[in-house]
């Protein structure tokens, strides 16, 4: 099993550009989530999904969209990148959401 | 979200014992996770406490007191590889199962 995979590992964007961060898991987990991690602030939940076709907002959803068309994939879209979105983004999955979460390796995003 | 407090940094010598505290507001508490995160890597699961008491896993133990809003992670026989950030995360009753609120993390520095 590859576990949770994320692409790309690094990305530089200009203000106003859009892009999609990819996340996939091969463990048949129902629950998936996206976090951002900024220095001194810990991990903050952006969006999450409890199963295919079901998504909901987390703590900091503004500027981001998600969809969950399959159990395996949970992409995160930045609609119009802003410097405030410079961060490390982690995707995570969990069998049911009640269990431990397995994290992907992260995407380091810089918005100029 | 409610406040989750951890010390920013702790320094200890190889072979020593380190206790990392995490405090939170007791109202609406549902459970507490501890994760380890090495620099530049993804968080990995260490423990989950929902009932009062101590749970031991090898050199690592986690303690919870629900009534006091307090947990600690105990690292025994400290090794150089234990140098990492330790994240406390709380699940609240009002949130869906998978939603976690993370503290800012405690950086553990290990000296020879």
Smallest Cβ distance to B103: which of A35, A42, A48?
A42
CB pairs under 8 A between A and B: 55
Following CA atoms B75, B81, B83, B89 in sequence, which dihedral angle do they give, to the nearest 10 degrees?
A: -60
List, for residues B18-39, the tens digit of each pLDDT value: 999 999 988 888 899 999 999 9
List, for residues B23-81, the tens digit of each pLDDT value: 998 888 889 999 999 999 999 999 999 999 999 999 999 999 999 999 999 999 999 99
The mean of the pLDDT values for chain A is 95
The helix/strand/coil state of B85 is: strand
B97 to chain A: which residues are within 8 Å by CB? 31, 50, 96-98
Please state, as a whole number, how many other Cβ atoms lie within 10 Å of the Cβ of residue B19: 13
Please report, for residues A8, A73, A98, A100, A107, the alpha-carbon distance to residue B100 in angstroms, rounded to integers and kept in the order given.
25, 21, 10, 11, 20
Nearest CA-CA distance, residue B54 and chain A, Å: 18
Question: Are A76 and A57 a contacting pair, CB within 8 Å?
Answer: no
A54 to chain B, any CB pair closer than 8 A? The answer is no
Please report, for residues A33, A36, A57, B25, B99, the alpha-carbon distance to residue A95 in angstroms, rounded to integers and kept in the order given.
12, 21, 19, 28, 13
DSSP annotation of A73: B
List, for residues A21-61, the tens digit of each pLDDT value: 999 999 999 999 999 999 888 899 999 999 999 999 999 99
A56 to chain B: which residues are within 8 Å by CB? 96
The helix/strand/coil state of B90 is: strand
DSSP annotation of B82: G
Please state, as a whole number, how many other Cβ atoms lie within 10 Å of the Cβ of residue A9: 9
Question: Are B69 and B5 a contacting pair, CB within 8 Å?
Answer: no
The residues of B whose Cβ lies within 8 A of any Cβ of A are: 1, 8, 33, 41-45, 48, 87, 89, 96-105
H/E segment holding residue A23 = strand A19-25
């Amino acid at each position: 099993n590859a576990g949770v995979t994320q692409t790309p590992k690094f990305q530089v964007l200009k203000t106003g550009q859009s892009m999609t961060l990819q996340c996939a898991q091969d463990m048949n987990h129902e629950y998936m989530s996206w976090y951002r991690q900024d220095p001194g602030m810990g991990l903050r939940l952006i969006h999450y999904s409890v199963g295919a076709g079901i998504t909901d907002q987390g703590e900091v959803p503004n500027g981001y969209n998600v969809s969950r068309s399959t159990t395996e994939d949970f992409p995160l879209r930045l609609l119009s990148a802003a410097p405030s979105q410079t961060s490390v983004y982690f995707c995570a999955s969990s069998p049911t959401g009640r269990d431990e979460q397995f994290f992907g390796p992260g995407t380091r995003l810089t918005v100029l | 979200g409610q406040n989750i407090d951890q010390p920013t940094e702790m320094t200890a010598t190889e072979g020593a014992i380190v206790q990392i505290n995490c405090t939170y507001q007791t109202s609406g508490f549902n459970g507490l996770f501890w994760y380890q995160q090495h620099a530049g890597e993804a968080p990995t699961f260490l423990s989950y406490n929902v009932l009062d008491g101590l749970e031991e896993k090898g050199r690592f133990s986690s303690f919870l007191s629900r009534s006091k809003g307090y947990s600690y992670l105990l690292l025994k026989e400290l090794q150089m590889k234990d140098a990492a950030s330790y994240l406390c995360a709380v699940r609240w009753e009002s949130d869906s199962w998978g939603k976690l609120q993370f503290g800012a993390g405690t950086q553990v520095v290990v000296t020879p």
